[in-house]
Structure formats: C-alpha cells, structure tokens
C-alpha cells in the first residue's frame, strides 16, 4: 500500500502533501486534548506492534501478498487523533529509514493510511462499537480502512496519468478486497485477545493495561525477530498492480540507507539482516511515538 517515488506526478504528490500537512496538524491538536500522560507508553507499544505486523506479508492470491495495515487497530486502541499521529510516525520512519514508500509520495501515503484510513476505520466503531454490533463494527471498520486506502491510491495513480485497463483494475480491487477481509479478521482477533487479557483496559489508561501491553510488545519483538522467516516473498497488491500496469520500473529511491528494504546491509546472514533491521525499527518507532506522546501530553497539561 506504500506508494514509491516515481509513480505519482508532481501535481498529485504536491497536492496530497498540501492536504496532508494541515490534516495531520489538526489531528495533533486533537490528540493534545485527549492523550493523558499515563497513556504515552501505549502509543509506543501500539506503534511498535503495528510496525512489526506490517513486516509480515501473507498470500492473498494470484502470486500477490498483503499485510496488516493497522489503521483500525490504532484507531480502536488510541482514538482517531492519536492513531493518526502514530501511523504518521510509522510511515515517516518507513520512508526515511527503510525506503518503504517514497519521500515525495509520503504526503499521499500518510493521507491514505494515517488520515483517511484511520477515520474510515473509526467511524463504524464509533457508531456501532458499543452495542451488539461491536464485532461487526470492528471487522467492517478494519476492512473499510484498507479499501479506502486502496481506492485513494488507485485514484492518485489515475490522476497521475497512469493508464488503467479495466480488467487490471478489477483484479486489483478483488485482491485488495481479500486483503481487507483478512485485515478485518486479524483486527477482530487482536481486539478480542486484548480485551480478554485486560477487560476494559482501553478505557483505563493506568496500570490495568500492563498485561496487554506486555503481550503486544512481546508479539512485536517475535514478529520482527522471527516472523520474517515465515513472511511471503511475493509482491504486495500495489507492487503487483504496478507490474501489471507496466510502471514498476518507474519506482526510484531518493535516499539510500543501511536499513533499506528492511535489511541490515552489512550482515551476511539473510535472517539476521532482516531480524536486526526489524528490531531496530521497533526501537525507532517506539522511541518516536513515546517522544511525540510526551510532547502532546505536556501541552495538554499546560
């Protein structure tokens, strides 16, 4: 779902950046009113968990893979404003450190997943998440977040002048739908597991959530350190679409880093290269989210 540089026209990525900056700024202001000091560690843990989960690709059909986006998990656990801030931090680190998603396309990626994706996930949960439709709201919100991001990415490519044959678009939409359904199922399982560990922990920011946060952090470390061994290697939905549209060769990297493509380039072992990069990413994401959380909480107190 991460759009690389070279796919979007200058007018499209510039427009998306111009729309994203005030949108994220608004979310930051909202988060300042909502994030309490006691919940700051939760931002770091959730950011680390979603980052690790995004590293694990799973098959969705026709030689294509998908992975958890995590917009819904963040929205349900943190609220939409804090979720948007955390997802923005994840996407920024992925682009700057791991060369996953373009630097010029960062505004589009943030808007698709951290703004529109988070809001699309949260709306069903907000309106129907407290009653008998709770499970359906969690599932549908997660699925809707993926479809929203996918449709926005397709629209941005189309506005960039990329020719899109109908057959290719329909196949891609089918694959994105499978990914969305899997996102819904995984998100529902995660939410039910968290609530079983600590009933009501999302509404109590203090010590009641320590067990759940410990499990999430442990899961993040296992996913980043060992889960990469089992991740599918086929291209994801957007990469497969680019191949079918003949624009895959247009992708370019503006910044080379030692952790590009989620591998520590200086190590010889394939697993160690990926595991080291993943664990380094966890530390970076956790640190960035905690720092942002502390700044937000202090402004709220002031």
Question: What are the pLDDT digits (tens) for 8-57?
Answer: 999 999 999 999 999 999 999 999 888 877 788 889 999 999 999 998 88
241-278 as b/e, with b when 16 or more CB fall inside 10 Å? Answer: bbebbebbeeeeeeeeeebbebbbeeeeeeeebbbbbb
Task: Give the residue ranges of the chain where pLDDT is below 70.
Answer: 200-209, 299-302
- pLDDT score of 206: 46
Task: Identify the pLDDT of residue 61.
Answer: 81
pLDDT of residue 205: 45
- Check residue 135 and give its pLDDT: 93
Q: Residue 90 in contact with residue 98, Cβ under 8 Å?
A: no
Q: Please report, for the chain, the start and end positions of each structural domain, with discontinuous segments joined by +.
A: 10-301
The verdict on pTM exceeding 0.85 is: yes
DSSP bridge partners of 61: 64
Could you give the count of Cα atoms lying within 13 Å of 43 in the half-sphere of its Cβ?
32
pLDDT of res. 66 = 87
Give me the architecture of the 10-301 domain, per CATH: Orthogonal Bundle (1.10)
Taking a C-beta distance cutoff of 8 angstroms, is the pair 202, 76 a contact?
Answer: yes
Which pLDDT value is given to residue 302? 55
């Amino acid at each position: 779902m991460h759009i690389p540089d070279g796919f979007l026209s200058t007018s499209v990525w510039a427009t998306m950046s111009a729309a994203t900056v005030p949108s994220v700024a608004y979310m930051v202001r909202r988060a300042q009113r909502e994030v309490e000091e006691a919940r700051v560690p939760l931002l770091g843990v959730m950011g680390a968990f979603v980052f690790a989960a995004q590293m694990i690709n799973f098959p969705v059909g026709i030689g294509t893979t998908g992975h958890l986006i995590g917009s819904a998990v963040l929205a349900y656990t943190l609220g939409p404003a804090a979720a948007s801030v955390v997802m923005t931090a994840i996407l920024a680190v992925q682009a700057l450190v791991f060369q996953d998603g373009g630097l010029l396309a960062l505004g589009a990626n943030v808007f698709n997943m951290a703004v529109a994706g988070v809001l699309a996930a949260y709306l069903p949960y907000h309106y129907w998440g407290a009653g008998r439709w709770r499970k359906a709201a969690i599932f549908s919100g997660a699925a809707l977040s993926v479809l929203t991001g996918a449709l926005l990415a397709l629209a941005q490519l189309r506005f960039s002048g990329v020719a899109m044959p109908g057959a290719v678009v329909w196949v891609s939409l089918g694959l994105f739908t499978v990914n969305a359904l899997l996102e819904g199922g995984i998100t529902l399982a995660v939410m039910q597991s968290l609530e079983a560990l600590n009933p009501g922990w999302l509404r109590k920011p203090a010590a009641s959530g320590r067990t759940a946060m410990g499990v999430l952090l442990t899961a993040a470390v296992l996913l980043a350190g060992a889960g990469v061994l089992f991740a599918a290697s086929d291209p994801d939905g957007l990469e497969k679409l680019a191949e079918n549209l003949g624009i895959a060769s247009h992708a370019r990297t503006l910044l080379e880093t030692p952790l590009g493509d989620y591998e520590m380039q200086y190590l010889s072992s394939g697993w160690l290269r990926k595991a080291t990069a993943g664990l380094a990413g966890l530390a970076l994401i956790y640190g960035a989210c905690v720092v942002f959380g502390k700044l937000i909480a202090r402004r709220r107190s002031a």
